[in-house]
Amino acid sequence: MKLGIHVNTDRHLEHVTGIARAAASKGHEVQIFVMADGERLLEKPSFLELCSVANIKMSYCDHNATHMGIKKEGVPKDVVCGSQYNNAVIVSEADRLIVL
């Protein structure tokens, strides 16, 4: 199963990491897209660690990050600096989508 996780708030870090890790540990593909206030999570090491977990892929909206003044220098290269196109691909490919 492909699970998409759309993160648009920074209020649910534990839920995002817990759900993503649990799904990946069961062999599911997890794709996380971050935008809006969720981009503040790009400054949290526990969130960024997800990009090194097998079966988890991450991307974020560069336009939002730039607008919000997010420091992108610390974001690992495995986290794709993208656009709403990345979000659209996740939505179209996911079997299930969670919005947090």
Q: Tell me the three state secondary structure of residue 20.
A: helix
Q: Which tens digit of pLDDT belongs to each residue from 37-96?
A: 999 999 999 999 999 999 999 999 999 999 999 988 889 999 999 999 999 999 999 999
Break the chain into its structural domains and give their ranges: 2-99
Question: What dotted CATH number matches 2-99?
Answer: 3.40.1260.10
Q: Which tens digit of pLDDT belongs to each residue from 19-39?
A: 999 999 999 999 999 999 999
> What does the pLDDT read at residue 71?
87
